[in-house]
Structure formats: C-alpha cells, structure tokens
Amino acid sequence: MAPQRIVIENCAVATVDARDTEYASGHLVIAGDRIESVGAGRAPGDLDGVVRRIDATGHLLTPGLVNTHHHFYQWITRGLATDHNLFDWLVALYPTWARIDEDMVHAAAQGSLAMMARGGVTLAMDHHYVYPRGCGDLTGAIVRAARETGVRFTLARGSMDRGESDGGLPPDFAVESIDGALAATEAAIDEHHDDSFGAMTQVAVAPCSPFSVTTELLRQGAELARRKGVRLHTHGSETVEEEKFCHELFGMGPTDYFESTGWLGEDVWMAHCVHMNDSDIAAFARTGTGVAHCPSSNARLAAGIARVPDMLAAGIPVGLGVDGTASNESGELHTELRNALLVNRLGPHRERALTARQALRLGTYGGARVLGRAGQTGSLEPGKLADLVLWRLDTLAHASIADPVAALVLGAAAPVTASFVGGRQIVADGRLLHADEDAIARSTREQAQRLARIAGRA
Ligand SMILES: [Zn+2]
C-alpha cells in the first residue's frame, strides 16, 4: 500500500542542504514520516495517496529548528537575579533549585517545550542536572512532557557531585554521590534511549560543568557514554571566572582539562565555549567536538561573545541553544537566529561575521549535527524525516521584506502556520495541537508559586 502523502506547495523553500538550495516558489511532498521530494514549482498533480494538499502561498518552508542547550526546570524560576553574572546568579538560585520535585519539573518541562514547539522547534533537548534527595522521577517527568508536546527530544542526564566542601560552587545539599549519579544516568539510558532512525527520545551523559563536578565523574561519565554508545554533553568555557577556577584547581584552562578527562571528540558537544583561544578552537576542530552557541544567555549573564565565525571557519559543528530560561526568560529559539547574527557582528569580524543564511543553518542543520542526527533531520532532502516548519510571511510584520530568509532571521518573530515532526503536525496557526497551552500556563504559574513558597522566597 502506498504511504499517505501530504503536499505543501506555492511557498518559498529554504532547504538548508549542502548547497543552500532555495526555491522562490516550490513544493515538498511528505510520505509517511519522511520527505519524499522537494523542488521548484508545484508538486505533480497525479500523486497517489494524497490526504492533504496545503496551499502555502505567502509562506517560507524551512527545516524544523533544533535546540541544542536548555534547562527546562528553570522555566519556573524566571525573572530572578536578573542583574548577575553566571557565578553570582548560580549562587543566588541554587537554594531554590534544590527544592524542585517531580510535579514542578513536569510543569516546567511542559512550559519550556510548548514555548519552543509553537516557535518552530521540532528537535529539543534538556540538560537536567539538579536531582535533590526525594525529588521523585524527574527524568520520567521530562520525557513524558516531550511525548505530550510531540517534539523529537534528547535528554542530557546531568549531574553534580562537587559541592562547596569539595571546592565546588553548588551547596552540598544540591549534589549527588558519584556512584548514584552514574547509576541513575545508566538507568536513564537503559529506559529511554532509542538509537533507531527517527527515534523520538535519545539520552546523553551530561555532568554539569567543571566547577560543579569532580574530575572522577567527568572521567567515569565519558567511559559510561562510550560503553553505551551515547553522546556526551556539558558546559564549557562559559566565563572568565570558570577559566580562573580551572587554572587554580587543575593548573590548565577548561579545554585542556576536558581533553585530559576524555571530553573532546565527535560524540561530545559543549554549551557556550565563549572563552576559547586559537589552540582551544584547533583542539575542537581536530577532535570534531561540537558547540551549542547561546547568544541571549551569554549576553544576559555578561559572559562574552563566542567566536562563532572562527569556529565555523575551522569546521567545528555549531548549533544554537536558548539555554535555561532563568538566564534568558524568553525560551524561544527563532529569536536566537537573529541574536546569533547580531551578537557576532558586534565581534571582530563585524559585518562579515554571519549571514542570515548561516544563522538559519546554525538553528537547523548545525543543531542536528551537534546532536548526532544530521543524517536524519536538519535539512529538507528526500529520505530525511519530515521535520519542517511553515512560517507565515505575508502579514504586516513581514510582507514588505524582500528576502524570505532575511525576513525570518532579521524580522519580528514570524508566526508558525504549521509545524511537522516525522510527518505528524504538532502546531497549527501558532497553537499546539496535542497539548493545552492555557492549562500549561496555569500549572507553570502554580508550580512556580509553590516552589517560591517551599524555598522561602514567598
Ligand atoms: Zn546551560
């Protein structure tokens, strides 16, 4: 039996394939969960099994956006410590974060996922590293929220084991034991990781950062990931304070420290990488280590400007991340396309730093590459998963912008008319189809207030 087909036509198409192929007016055919064809003009009129034909006049069709760094639980601690740098901000928030439980994390994950999905994200990730004693099944709650929203998902099972008494930044009551963290990470992989083509859930091993985990947890975490065949994720080279911390404790900078613990490689991606010298960039390029660039968070916490143009020139895989919403507040990825371009043009490469098309590539194919899914998603090509977004560009905000890709990247946040994950529509006219946004908004507010009460802030 022929697969069910959905035809999208009469729209601009940015495929983000290797040659950046675009069509001013083109079409795409979805067959089952895959892209069957994409090209100029209208789709053939004699296709079998067409269940839906979408006239997408006035729209731009792109691959779905990919978010490569986030902390969902922070959705319920937004708007706090808004004028702090990273270390001061962490110290201000750890005591609150140490009181999270399963209900709070489920609501926060729903809020984070809903905000991303309605803004065109089709592949999301969550780096969760706070597991207070007696908090319940946080991993299960996060994976459940992703299923409810309908996005493809990577859970980076995080951990912290270097409390204040070991010279770390988090208070002792917020950290796990090394054996407990490794056992729970392995259990999360066994229960949730799927390595098949088109997997909806994958798991990565993700100790939090050099200043909150021990060298031994980094080493053993890398061994665990390689034994299980999953990816590795952590924070790296985010601030000058972290660089100073590494020199004082380990006698070397963060990149050399990561290399000494087995944390550079094609299966690793790191958030931020703001403070990288030429030899750090060469080490990432040599080993194929990926980067999650988080321009809004880096600006909000005054961390600095990552050297994205130099990373791209060196061949480093780079994707975009919103980072946790306690250091971003918005939690939307499509605005990060614009911020990546703007922030990098404030750096030394000025107007040549990034083009609008490079920004779109970072947010799609680049993200799929750092999550290890570039063969399956991230561009509009026959055989890939039908993860794609129709952006409406014929309203007041965008109708007079000459170039549709520039309209998407530089213009106001464009409305999402439709978003598909594996051929299944998850957003229609800017609203989620499989989750109730108003109910999620209410429960995130309730859980935020409950956490503030329990943590003694209200
Ligand atoms: Zn982060």
Domain 65-370 has CATH 3.20.20.140: yes
Predicted local confidence at residue 353, as pLDDT: 97
Distance 304 CA to ligand 1 centre (A): 14
Question: pLDDT for 273-329, tens place per residue?
Answer: 999 999 999 999 999 999 999 999 999 999 999 999 999 999 999 999 999 988 899
Distance CA 257, CA 371 (A): 23
Predicted local confidence at residue 1, as pLDDT: 66
* pTM of the predicted protein model: 0.97
Question: pLDDT for 208-236, tens place per residue?
Answer: 999 999 999 999 999 999 999 999 999 99
Nearest Cα residue to 28 out of 36, 15, 17, 38:
38
Distance 22 CA to ligand 1 centre (A): 34
Distance 373 CA to ligand 1 centre (A): 21
CATH 2.30.40.10: which residues of the chain? 5-63+383-432
CATH 3.20.20.140: which residues of the chain? 65-370
Distance CA 107, CA 439 (A): 10
Question: pLDDT for 131-141, tens place per residue?
Answer: 998 899 999 99
Distance 401 CA to ligand 1 centre (A): 34
Domain 5-63+383-432 has CATH 2.60.40.1080: no
Burial (0-12, 13-18, 19+ Cβ within 10 Å), 41: exposed
The residues whose Cβ lies within 5 A of ligand 1, an ion, are 271, 323
* pLDDT > 70? residue 365: yes
Encoded tokens for 176: 């796990």
Predicted local confidence at residue 326, as pLDDT: 87
Predicted local confidence at residue 4, as pLDDT: 95
Encoded tokens for 171: 């208070």
Distance 72 CA to ligand 1 centre (A): 10
> 3-state SS of 341-387?
HHHHHCCCCHHHCCCHHHHHHHHHHHHHHHCCCCCCCCCCCCCCECC
Under the banding of pLDDT at 50, 70 and 90, the label for residue 15 is very high
Q: What percent of the chain has pLDDT over 70?
A: 100
Predicted local confidence at residue 173, as pLDDT: 85
268 bridge partner residues: 232
Question: pLDDT for 244-262, tens place per residue?
Answer: 999 999 999 999 999 999 9
- Which DSSP string do the residues of 246-292 spell out, in sequence order? HHHHHSS-HHHHHHHTT--STTEEEEE--S--HHHHHHHHHHT-EEE
* pLDDT > 80? residue 2: no
Q: What percent of the chain has pLDDT over 90?
A: 94
Predicted local confidence at residue 443, as pLDDT: 97
